[in-house]
Amino acid sequence: MTNRLLQRKQMVVDVLHPGLANLSKVEVREKLSKMFKTESDLVFPFGFRTQFGGGRSTGFVLVYDSMDAVKKFEPKYRLARQGLVEIKRLARKQRKERKNRNKKLTGTQKAKGKKVRKSRGD
């Protein structure tokens, strides 16, 4: 199915692999990129489940039109899985301190990350 709004083709894919446990997403991505005559960076397979007994897997695939559309619509964790974006993680202590600081903030202040002083009604 073509999704013009999100600039991609999206489909459910059945992969037959008799005698094999399952196929890697890299293999699926390469085969589909050849089928759709596009770069393998624009193909995102995910959610594959192998049927009981093996030999067949069903999953979901998104084939984007351009890299701009990928960066605009695809979640960061899927970009990281494919190596297009690197998610840097802070140290555990820093994450905890930030979490506890944000507990004291409310509403839109959390996005800004700073506490707004209340003015006294003098």
Question: What's the pTM value of the predicted model, to 2 decimals?
Answer: 0.73
Architecture of the domain defined by 2-82: 2-Layer Sandwich (3.30)
Q: DSSP for 7-39?
A: TEEEEEEEEE-TTSS---HHHHHHHHHHHTTS-
Q: What is the mean predicted confidence (pLDDT) over 4-32?
A: 93
Domain boundaries, the chain: 2-82
Residue 20 in this model has a pLDDT that exceeds 80: yes
**Average pLDDT across the chain, whole number:** 89
Interval 83-114: pLDDT, tens: 898 888 889 999 999 999 888 888 887 777 76
